[in-house]
Amino acid sequence: MSCDPALISWPINHANAMDALVELLRDIPAVIYAGTNTAPTQCGTPELWHHLATRSVISAHKSREFWVIHYGTPTTTPRPALGEERQALRPAPPSSVNASPKANYLTALGSKPGGKQ
């Protein structure tokens, strides 16, 4: 059975809205993401990025303003984190009003500080 990819464009970062999206994505074989976590704002929630970080990457393109990433199916093989994923999963600053603990998927993905994107 063929299934169209999901397109996620500049996703919001409200957990209650993203939980349902992450559940839907579990059954979709490909996801295309457009947005940025390298600007002052963040696209998506840590839960969304934890899910995306477990998928294979078919292609990734970064412009000056945003990323477009084509994700494939989930994989159990760790891969290096993309710059966009590293930014999304970085720990919140201690002084942040909305600071919350985030799992460090970068280690599980085999990412090294200063590594290639």
Does residue 113 form part of some domain?
A: no
Does residue 17 form part of some domain?
A: yes
The single residue listed with the structure tokens 């009003």 is 97
Signed CA dihedral, 66, 86, 54, 103: sign only: negative
Q: What is the pLDDT, as a whole number, of residue 2?
A: 60
Does residue 11 form part of some domain?
A: yes
**Best CA proximity match to 80, nearest among 97, 99, 57:** 57
The pTM score is 0.74
Does residue 100 form part of some domain?
A: yes
For 15-24, write each residue's pLDDT tens digit.
Answer: 777 888 999 9
Domain total in the chain = 1
For 100, other C-beta atoms within 10 Å of its C-beta total: 10
The span from the CA of 78 to the CA of 80, in Å, is 7
Mean pLDDT, residues 78-99 taken together: 76
Does residue 97 form part of some domain?
A: yes
Mean confidence (pLDDT) of the chain: 80
Does residue 39 form part of some domain?
A: yes
Helix (H, G, I), strand (E, B) or coil at 19: helix
Q: What is the pLDDT, as a whole number, of residue 18?
A: 84
CB 10, CB 34: distance < 8 Å: yes
Does residue 74 form part of some domain?
A: yes
Cα R_g (the chain), whole angstroms = 14
Does residue 45 form part of some domain?
A: yes
State which residues form the domain around 10. 6-108
